[in-house]
Chains A and B, each alone.
Chain A
Amino acid sequence: MYEKIIIAEDLGSINESVLQLGKKLQITEIHQVQYCEEAYMKIKKAHQENVPYQLLITDLSFKPDYREQYIKSGKEIIKRLKAEHPELKIIAYSIEDRKASIEQLLKLGVEAYVCKDRNGLVELEAAIISTFKNESYISPQIEKILDRTTDFEIEDYDIFLLNNLAEGFSQEAISKQLKSKNIAPNSLSSIEKRVSKLKIHLGAKNTYQLIALSKDIGLI
């Protein structure tokens, strides 16, 4: 298990529970700080003294207070440390669940992302163990968000399909029409696939409902 870790978290109660978790995992040296700049200084100092930290668990947002801080957010400290000390492992631990910001963190190279919610502590424990084994960890609900296919967009091609279906053409007839117009893809199977995809995205049980729904919301 890790021997020397540092936790940057400005909320005392969370800090305490993470400390308990560390003790449970028999980590010998656990340091706690309330500002990310302080964490940065400590990590730098330890590195100079040749007794470096192995892991940083950091929140992303810190309440600003009377102390002027140069490093104001978890994202900033992660960016710096990953550039200066790539060997230091980092677990981001936050309530943030926006896909884009989490993807940014992963791009910066954090080893794990744990979402602070009901199962947060359990997931954090798993994250510590995984990262120690050089595996990455992401909270299951965040993984779901990341997997979510949001790239689906209705295209002119889809409108064409829906219009023709609404006019009563069979998928075979539509395929022929596409071929005559030189529009690809025009094979029957690709049309079938696209229509079933449309059904999923519009939540339609069959083609009739698909057309009805499309008309309802003014797609066709």
Chain B
Amino acid sequence: MRYSLLISLLLLFFSKNFNGQNTTPSDSLNNYVSKVNNSAKPQELLEAFRYFNAKIKNDQSELSEVYNLIYIARIQQKLGVLQESEATATKALQVLENTASSSTKKAYQNTLYNHLGKLYKETGKLKQASYFYKKAVSNASAKQKAILYNNLGNIARDQQNDSTALDYYTKAIALSEQTDNLENLARARDNSGYLFRVSQPQRALSEMRSALELREKLQLQEGLFTSYIHLGEYYQLQQQKQLAKAYFIKAQSIAEQFKNLKYKESALQQLLRMADIPIAKNYLTVKDSLTQLNQNAESNYLALKYQLEKSEQEANLFQLEKEAEAQKKVFYQIIGLLVILIAIAIFGYLKIKHRKEKILQVFNTESRIAKKVHDEVANDVYYLMTKLQNATYQKEDTLHRLEEIYQTSRNISRENNSFPEDENFSDLLKELVSHYQTSHTKIIVKNLTGIDWQTTSTLKKATLYRVLQELFTNMKKHSEASLVLLSFQQKGKNLVINYTDNGKGSELKKRNGLVNTESRMQAIQGKIIFDSEINKGFKAQLIC
């Protein structure tokens, strides 16, 4: 109770100071400002609240918004909704943050720090209170500083930290003397004296008396009230009940003068305590515990409410996150779907392309074989038939001709039968070579056994087999070569096969079979390079 007294004094001081910043306040504004500063009636406070709330919506500048918020915070404090008041003050500070630095900004900030310090002190959060008071100190004038040091001293006293409290009071006294501010000097002396009332009664008394003298001289009614109460308490401690009672009565008369209910209450309470009536004492004890209970309940409620708000906010935040996540999910799903669709489209396209290529390949092979059968077998059979129409043709000749046709057709079959994949590839190649080896055509092989065919795929082997077969067939048909060299080489990952013959060679007009070898090698990501000139032999290099 007694501290709130000081605080309201402070509030008065700051609001006066603060009002000074507004150069042209309107009449209604003045009216409401004084209501906020002086009235404790809820009805009037609510009116003022409505006024400032409406004013926020009309006022454009940020500084005037802060001005209105400060008053709202004060009204809320007076109405006892401390949590709201705190929130309002904090919001005002945030708005201030964004404004350009100015003297007005500093003054507002100080006012708000002071306001928050008071709020926290009222709710018993002493640490926060001293934090904000200290913040306010850095920007304050010497006069304001004296008041703030007083407040800080009071907090330290409440925290049972007497030495710190004394430090602050001493600073306040020094500052007050420096600025010749007797009001503040009296306050600081009174407070420091009150601090010593138990430990050093003599010192306490002299300090408090000097403060009282100053106040009497200056006729500071509010200060006198505090002094009387403090002195009363002092004498009560000293068991000088008559003196104590006298001071309390003085305090009560000041309260009557002021018509201030809070002052009245605190003076009467002290007097009641003095009157030796057991029922009164009981009543005071009960009242104190009730007040305590109410305060606890209120702070619990506030804490709970604050928690609720917080969890509500969190829930909202969570909801927002969930929505964002859901959107993200949809986004990824769409992308995934697109990827799948594109993949299917590509797959389908490749499949169709592949099928076409395969059909084309089959068709090419078929026509190649058909052409061969026509050129090599059907022609020979027709020739034989015409010969047989000539009666003089001998049986032995016929048989001989037939065998040739048989051999030809068998060769066609051999060239086109399935590739024997289960056989040793090296042996298979040797056999292929031996098949084309005649007394007129020597084929020599270099480094075939040096190649490891284990890791080569069946497709690659089959391709190489067919290509070499094609080269040999070509050689047999056209080159008249007497010597062929087939050399194998492993170059890193690549297999290189060189085919060289000493035949007639040719102009590099690719014949059907050789074009086939090119497409075959391409199919296994390999290539074939031809090199030939008339009468300079024929060369081919296979790389895969």
Contacts and interface: CB of A to CB of B under 8 A. Distances in A.
Query: Which of A95, A202, A217 has the largest number of chain B CB atoms within 10 A?
Result: A217
Interface stretch (A106-114, A143-151, A178-186): A143-151
Contact of A150 (B413, B420, B430, B487): B430
B515 interface: no
B500 A217 contact: yes
Interface string A131-148: 000000000000001001
Contact of B483 (A117, A148, A216): A216
Contacts of A104: 423
B406 A217 contact: no
B508 interface: no
A101 B420 contact: yes
Contacts of B391: none
Given A216-B483, A217-B485, A153 B449 contact: yes
Nearest to A103: B427
A140 to B, nearest CB: 15
Nearest to B448: A153
Given A100-B423, A100-B427, A118 B500 contact: no
Contacts of B449: 153
A148 B485 contact: no
Contacts of B423: 100-101, 104
Nearest to B447: A153
B403 interface: yes
B447 A148 contact: no
A116 to B, nearest CB: 9
A168 interface: no
Contacts of B485: 154, 217-219
Contacts of A101: 420, 423
A191 to B, nearest CB: 19
B434 A154 contact: no
Contacts of A153: 444-449
B482 A203 contact: yes
A63 interface: no
A95 B487 CA distance: 31
Contacts of A176: none
A202 B482 CA distance: 8
A148 B482 CA distance: 18
B445 A118 contact: no
A98 interface: yes
A148 B434 CA distance: 7
B506 interface: no
Interface residues of A, number: 23
B444 A154 contact: yes
A44 B71 CA distance: 115
B500 A218 contact: yes
B502 A217 contact: yes
Contacts of B403: 117-118
A201 B433 CA distance: 13
B502 A216 contact: yes
Contacts of B498: 218
A202 B431 contact: no
A201 B502 contact: no
A152 interface: yes
B431 A99 contact: yes
A148 B500 CA distance: 22
Contacts of A100: 420, 423-424, 427-428, 431
Interface string A171-200: 000000000000000000000000000000
Contacts of B430: 150-151
Interface in B426-451: 427-428, 430-431, 433-434, 437, 442, 444-449
Contacts of A117: 403, 406-407
18 contacts: A98-B414, A98-B420, A100-B428, A100-B431, A104-B423, A148-B434, A150-B430, A150-B433, A150-B434, A151-B430, A153-B446, A153-B449, A154-B445, A203-B442, A213-B482, A217-B501, A218-B539, A219-B446
Given A154-B447, A202-B444, A218-B485, 18 more contacts: A98-B414, A98-B420, A100-B420, A100-B423, A100-B424, A100-B428, A117-B407, A118-B402, A118-B403, A148-B437, A150-B431, A202-B442, A203-B482, A213-B482, A213-B502, A216-B502, A217-B483, A218-B498
Interface of B: 399, 402-403, 406-407, 410, 413-414, 420, 423-424, 427-428, 430-431, 433-434, 437, 442, 444-449, 482-485, 487, 498, 500-502, 537, 539
- Which 5 interchain pairs have the tightest Cβ spacing? A154-B446, A217-B485, A203-B442, A150-B430, A150-B434
